[in-house]
Amino acid sequence: MKRDFFEGKVIVITGASSGIGLASARLFASFGARLSLAARSIDRLQAEAEKMSSASDILCVRTDVSVEADCRNLIERTVEKFGRIDILVNNAGVSMRAMFRDLDLSVIKTLMDVNFWGTVYCTKYALPYLLESKGSVVGVISIAGFAGLPGRTGYSSSKYAIRGFLDTLRIEHLYDGLHVMVFAPGFTASNVRNAALTADGSAQGKTPRDEGRMMTAEKCAEYLARGLAGKRSEMILTPIGKLTVLMHNILPRLTDRLEFSYMAKEPDSPFHRK
């Protein structure tokens, strides 16, 4: 791990009050980075920031990434305090669990607003500073951004959209020194499944999966740091995640059937084989 790579770097992290965002903030703080942390839960964000390394400068900004003005404010306040931006980690996100036929369309709009548009808004306002610093922009997506997951139409759509957006941004700035990374964890232990939206837009409140058997958010943050230090353009985590993406490219119809069977085994699955 190139700890010195992060020392003094100004890093913006959205969705930083829990899960991968919080674990990444703690890790980068321990490396001596200067952090601009964004989340809707400002009290929780500030409480978590106080527990981090006192040697690290930390700015907490209440941010709803689905609101363009909030994203602009986040970037402006970051530059006002630190004078630059070296890394933007677009991590804020929300999930869902329901069959499309049962789904209120407002759920998909919410997921696109948070996951996709949140990434677009923050990247748009941070881009001039990232180009100046020859920095990095990261989008935390999912294996669902490579292979559609049944019961997650809105989630998969938003993650595919982020990947397409960032892949195109990379090509546009191929010779400008901008580093663009698509970061795709597999199932990671976090509260994202507890807060996942159901068919009517309410939070499901509990996870349908065994969180104890998943990669921890802390381990995921370590991989994120390695990807940033190594200037990786794409990272796909976990053996099952890598296998799913590989098989989706080689044997897509077989992968469809395997995914269906795998996801249908979840407790209270919204679908099953007739």
Tokens 């997506």 appear where? Answer: 141
Alpha carbon of 13 to those of 63, 89, 94, 96, 221: distances in Å? 11, 5, 15, 22, 12
Strands (E), 168-247: 179-184, 234-236
| Active-site residue (options: 121, 125, 129, 155) | 155
Residues 6+ apart with CB under 8 A from 157: 108, 111, 112
223 flagged as catalytic: no
Structure tokens at 27: 């890790």
Tokens 């269906």 appear where? Answer: 260
Residue 74 burial (CB < 10 Å; 0-12/13-18/19+)?
A: buried
**Residues designated as active site:** 155
